[in-house]
A and B are shown apart, each in its own frame.
Chain A
């Protein structure tokens, strides 16, 4: 459960997140993440999302529970 958020200023386009969770994150033509529309993550994808967050060298990826904007 939750939603991935990219801090666009921190992100340097390493692309590791998309390698870990390809069903949640795509890369644009320059290697920067594009979050794929995924209203609800199943347990498997949630696990991958958490792993992608932990693996980001810039700590630019966050997993938030949807409360407010």
Chain B
């Protein structure tokens, strides 16, 4: 074991020795909050200390080492196996290579517009460790020879914005030699965090997803655009310092590195964002951080347009991306929602669908007309009287949504409904026979934002 570690360490950057206590524990068993022992991307001061200043950041981690030319940086990122942490899990190095191959005058965008209402991991990272995110943006810029970085956030993400503004100023004052950095503020709408929506917004000031993939690929005003999620940038900053193999140690063979997770739903008061290594299971996370000693009724994986899994089936499931994928599941942007036994999964799903329908950008037929019908159908099932035939029709209807919108918003909503009907099949049966259950009066476990009426600009 120690022999393996030594071999791997010899491949990391020789100027920056790895902090020994980070290796004392097994990084693929990592489960830690902000500033706790063993944490990697969340290492540093505790959350109460607030934003880590540039001085403290550099004291703790040292300056970003020179990594050589762009091609070499891309090779390091490829060796790290880093996959995007925004939801799609696309290999970071492939994105970089595609942008670099186009030449021209590339641009780097940090996607900090965390649009999942219950997700907090990007906002937490930007608020507490803005310099880690910005360092990562510098690495990304060097990987594609970009001379400009745009950090895009939702206007309502106040603490993240305050930290980012401070951090950009600190870096300017310190006269770091690095690309120009600007912060961009967009509307807080659900689908406005989708990458083509951000490109649309930065180009035209309209935050609705683009239907034309070619326009999205062309980039902002035709400039090759490298867009990575804020957490992805944070990992890049550490990969640059510690080396690709250090990063891989915290993951599995098929999913490199640690990942940030936000707990949602029936959670105890206190922190909700945690860093997990590859071997950690849903059960371990919920036992250790949500105070559960037995599986909940169900978990919601991936977000409000995610998938339900029966709590008992999920309990021993590792959170590693590849092992979730093997079961057709994904953590998406890292959201793990807890549905307690006293809640009604059908009522929760009805509320989530209502929210998703209200967040449609109103561009595509299936979304404009279809989503409200799905939401209504689910509400009737949860709160009213329906027949078996109604449920069958609802299911059949939901099956026509796949891959028909400009973005995957309708697909996500339809899948949420399909998973609900499968995972809560017993409840569906009971609702058909006896009407609404008394659990429906239980307060919503998953709170949905009240429609803000915010536009798309």
Contacts and interface: CB of A to CB of B under 8 A. Distances in A.
A8 B400 contact: no
Contacts of B365: 8, 11-13, 28, 30-32
A66 interface: no
Contact of B369 (A9, A30, A34): A30
Nearest to B367: A8
Interface residues of B, number: 16
B369 A8 contact: no
Nearest to B407: A8
Contacts of B367: 8
B366 interface: yes
Given A7-B212, A69-B213, A34 B363 contact: no
A9 B366 contact: no
Nearest to A13: B365
B211 A10 contact: yes
B400 A34 contact: yes
Contacts, number: 42
Given A29-B373, A32-B369, A34-B400, A8 B363 contact: yes
B435 interface: no
A16 interface: no
Given A13-B365, A30-B370, A32-B365, A8 B211 contact: yes
A6 interface: yes
B405 interface: yes
Given A28-B366, A69-B213, A9 B373 contact: no
B388 interface: no
Nearest to A12: B365
A9 B406 contact: yes
B89 to A, nearest CB: 17
A12 B365 CA distance: 7
Nearest to A30: B369
Contacts of B211: 7-10
A31 B400 CA distance: 12
Nearest to A9: B211
A17 B366 CA distance: 16
Contacts of B369: 29-30, 32
B404 interface: yes
Given A28-B370, A29-B373, A9 B363 contact: yes
Interface in B337-355: none
A61 to B, nearest CB: 13
Contact of A9 (B364, B370, B397): B364
A32 B366 contact: yes
Contacts of A30: 365-366, 369-370
A29 B397 contact: yes
A5 B211 CA distance: 11
A38 B397 CA distance: 20
Nearest to A69: B213
B364 A34 contact: no
A8 B404 contact: yes
A8 B213 contact: no
A8 B211 CA distance: 7
Contacts of A32: 365-366, 369, 404
Interface string B360-379: 00011111011001000000
Interface in B373-406: 373, 397, 400, 404-406
A28 B364 contact: no
A65 B20 CA distance: 56
Contacts of B370: 28-30
A11 B406 CA distance: 11
A2 to B, nearest CB: 17
B131 to A, nearest CB: 36
A32 B365 CA distance: 6
Contacts of A10: 211
A69 to B, nearest CB: 7
27 contacts: A6-B404, A7-B212, A8-B211, A8-B363, A8-B364, A8-B365, A8-B367, A8-B406, A9-B211, A9-B363, A9-B406, A10-B211, A11-B365, A12-B365, A13-B365, A28-B370, A29-B369, A29-B370, A29-B373, A29-B397, A30-B370, A31-B365, A32-B365, A32-B369, A32-B404, A34-B400, A69-B213
Interface of B: 211-213, 363-367, 369-370, 373, 397, 400, 404-406
7 nearest A-B residue pairs (beta carbon):
A32-B365, A8-B364, A30-B369, A9-B211, A9-B363, A28-B400, A13-B365
Given A28-B397, A29-B370, 11 more contacts: A7-B212, A8-B211, A8-B367, A9-B211, A9-B364, A11-B364, A11-B365, A28-B365, A28-B370, A34-B404, A69-B213
